[in-house]
Chain A
Amino acid sequence: EPEVTQTPSHQVTQMGQEVILRCVPISNHLYFYWYRQILGQKVEFLVSFYNNEISEKSEIFDDQFSVERPDGSNFTLKIRSTKLEDSAMYFCASSEVGGNYEQYFGPGTRLTVT
């Protein structure tokens, strides 16, 4: 069964550094998403991406964040200058266009900012 994959599984970085989180969505999916889950809190939507541009974004997704689909398979989330409060689990998801709206989630990347 096709699945969304994410790398790395755990990333440790120092405050102020840039990080790139990588995701490989399911191959025939055209909508891509990033979510985050701070430890002990709810899963929060960050951004959706369709047709090579941002479709929707939340208030959390400020100028320090960016997304990119650099090639035909990867979907990345870049955090330009990490802060302690960026420590969280980051989930990537993908879905088909229309239809049943089901979003398939990856296993997540745990980001720890020290």
Chain B
Amino acid sequence: AQSVTQPDIHITVSEGASLELRCNYSYGATPYLFWYVQSPGQGLQLLLKYFSGDTLVQGIKGFEAEFKRSQSSFNLRKPSVHWSDAAEYFCAVGVEAGGSYIPTFGRGTSLIVHP
């Protein structure tokens, strides 16, 4: 069965600093990989996804992620963090099911941004 590990429960950065959130997955085949963001009181919003092809994926809000098969990782990065980026971030690995996919989520990383 697939699994996702987000080793950092909390990450604190200063506004304007760079950010990297770690994600490691376990899955026997080529994975579908996702990053979601959840702001307080909101649902999950998809930041970016990887299905195949270029291993560096660009997403919304200036985020990017790199798929590294040899490390089973899909780390999320942003060169300069804004205060509005403070939120919970979830990595997920998806298993295709018919015309959709079923995601397995990590426990999430809470991003705190200092002014």
Q: Are A48 and B100 in contact, CB atoms less than 8 angstroms apart?
A: yes
Max chain A C-beta neighbours (<10 A), residue from B44, B51, B108 = B44
Contact string, A83-99, partner B, CB cutoff 8 A, digits 1/0?
A: 00000000101010110
Judge whether A28 is part of the interface by a CB distance below 8 angstroms. no
* Residues in B whose Cβ lies below 8 Å from that of A102: 46, 49
Place the interface of chain A in its size category: 20 to 34
Q: Does A12 contact B (CB under 8 A)?
A: no
Q: Which residues of B contact A93 (CB under 8 A)?
A: 43-44
Q: Which of B89-103 contact A (CB under 8 A)?
A: 90, 94, 97-103
Find B49's partner among A48, A50, A101 (CB 8 Å cutoff): A101
Shortest CB-to-CB span from B17 to chain A, Å, is 27
* Total inter-chain residue pairs, C-beta < 8 Å: 59
Residues of B contacting A105 in the complex (Cβ-Cβ under 8 angstroms): 36, 43-45
Tell which of A42, A48, A104, A106 touches B97, judged by Cβ atoms closer than 8 Å: A48
Separation in Å of the B24 CB from the closest CB of chain A?
14
| Given contacts A101-B32, A101-B49, A101-B94, A43 and B44 within 8 Å (CB-CB) | yes
Q: Does A18 contact B (CB under 8 A)?
A: no
Instruction: Find the A residue at minimum CB distance from B97.
Output: A56
Q: Give B contacts to A, CB under 8 Å.
A: 32, 36, 41-46, 49, 51, 90, 94, 97-108
